[in-house]
Amino acid sequence: MFGLREEDCKACRGSGMLSDDEGWQYKCSVCHGSGKVAPNGGQRQVRLMEVDENNRLLD
């Protein structure tokens, strides 16, 4: 039987952080800051997020 193997998140390259064009850093919305994702993408809940006037995600 095969166990689930996590792989580096392609969005943040395994760092868990993303940055915008101005250098602001924020937690990766794909892996939620862990830097790892399941090979099949996993089953995740989708949540809508608000943005400010500069289109930065708000928690």
- For the cut 80, the answer to whether the pLDDT of residue 27 exceeds it is yes
Nearest partner of 11 among 34, 33, 28, 32, judged by Cα: 28
Round to whole Å and give the CA distance between 9 and 28: 9
- For the cut 80, the answer to whether the pLDDT of residue 47 exceeds it is no
pLDDT tens string 30-42? 888 999 987 765 5
* pTM for the model: 0.54
- For the cut 80, the answer to whether the pLDDT of residue 44 exceeds it is no
Q: Where are the domains of the chain?
A: 1-39
Take residue 23 and report the two structure tokens written for it: 């250098």
Q: Which residues contact 11 (CB under 8 A, 6 or more apart)?
A: 18, 28, 29, 30, 31
